[in-house]
Amino acid sequence: MSDNKQFLVVMFANDNHLSNVKTLQSILKQQYENVFLLVCNDATNNFQAERLLYNFWENKSEGIQQIFLAENHAPMGVCATLKEKLACTDAEYVMVVHSGECLNEPETLEECAAAMEQNADAAALATHADVWFTDMSEIDETLTYDDDTPRYLRDCMFVYRYQALKKALENEEQGTFLWETAIASITRQGGRVAKGQFSACKLTKASIEDEKNDVPQALGNERMLNIARKLQENKDADTVQYKVKAHQQAAPEVRKKQKIKNWLYKQSRFRSLLIYGILALLMIICAVLFLALVPGMGKVLGAVFAFAAVCAVLWCLGLAAFNLYFRKHPERLR
């Protein structure tokens, strides 16, 4: 133990409910007595929040002090998300775990904290990660960190001192994984990365494959807020404090703008554009028929349909431009 200093574990969930549950349970079983858990949903397409809810208190150790919930309304990535969310607690140590990665043993956080105490001058600790075959029959390889450029490593292998990580992310928001950015920044600033001779996490070969995280079909969902509400209502959750760090807590004018942008984005999807395009085509046909075949009042109706058709075409073009812009700049939807 390391005098029970705060240990922040950040879990990035995804669309795979089974992977989410396995990762979450490996965290909740930790014997370290001062753990703060931050669960992040980086705008995944089909995050099954209600199914995950049950596991928040199932098999939870007494060491979990707080659970923070964070949801991004557009994909931000690990670095940008942490840069924004690290303020949820002033912990001593920070570890990032992605869905599909599991902490090896209930004593893993204790072992990591002890290694950090033994290396008091180190800004970060690099451990090992066991990569199992997909059927979990045996270990295929063990990932280790060295000073050479590695083929691939995983975020769950690294533990950071809170202040060192915060400083490393001050001017950095890039990188598929946190370690790619943070470790490079720490070493560039003269910080030391200690090496622990043990495996902190395990994962399967399937977890190595990078997941594509597109702009979701429906932005602005409130699944994480639903989790918070249900947790607060549940009588078994009295021993743990829950806080919500979500976009819906912004000022009313910010929420109003967010709703407008989300509504426009939904209207600009292909199916909606197809419907608007068909309506515009029908209006054009009606305008031509009235103008060409119906004398007198037909000319007036034809002019009305022609005006409506022009408006519909302009609306479609505007939505198409909106869709293209926000697909290239999804962060603008936040």
pLDDT tens for 52-106 read 776 676 666 778 888 888 888 777 888 888 888 887 788 999 999 998 899 999 9
Given a contact cutoff of 8 angstroms between Cβ atoms, the answer to whether 144 and 215 are in contact is no
**What would the CATH number be for the domain defined by 7-249?**
3.90.550.10
Higher pLDDT, 258 or 121: 121
Per-chain mean pLDDT for the chain: 78
Q: What is the pLDDT of residue 269?
A: 77
Quick one: pLDDT band at residue 248, thresholds 50, 70, 90? Answer: very low
61 CA to centre of own chain? 25
pLDDT of residue 260: 75
Least confident of 125-129, 182-186, 207-211, 316-320: 207-211
- pLDDT, position 198: 93
pLDDT at 112: 95
Report whether pLDDT(121) > 90.
yes
Q: Residue 73 has what pLDDT?
A: 76
The mean per-residue pLDDT over the stretch 4-15 comes to 89
Quick one: pLDDT band at residue 214, thresholds 50, 70, 90?
very low
3-state secondary structure 291-311: HHHCCCHHHHHHHHHHHHHHH
DSSP letters spanning 155-193: GGGEEEEHHHHHHHTTT----SSHHHHHHHHHHHTT--E
> Does residue 244 surpass a pLDDT of 60?
no
The pLDDT, as a whole number, for residue 87 is: 78
> Is residue 271's pLDDT more than 90?
no
Query: Partners of 139 in the beta sheet?
Result: 132
In tens, the pLDDT along 150-181 reads: 567 889 999 999 999 988 888 665 666 788 88
Nearest to 244 by CA among 78, 51, 85: 85
Helices (H), the chain: 17-28, 49-53, 78-85, 108-118, 162-168, 178-188, 223-233, 252-267, 270-293, 297-328
pLDDT tier at 19 (50, 70, 90 boundaries)? confident
> In the chain, where are the structural domains located?
7-249, 252-333
Of 69, 48, 71, 14, the closest CA to residue 247 belongs to: 71
Which residue's structure tokens are 């001058």? 121
Cβ-proximal residues to 313 (8 Å cutoff; 6+ apart), any chain: 280
133-142: average pLDDT:
79
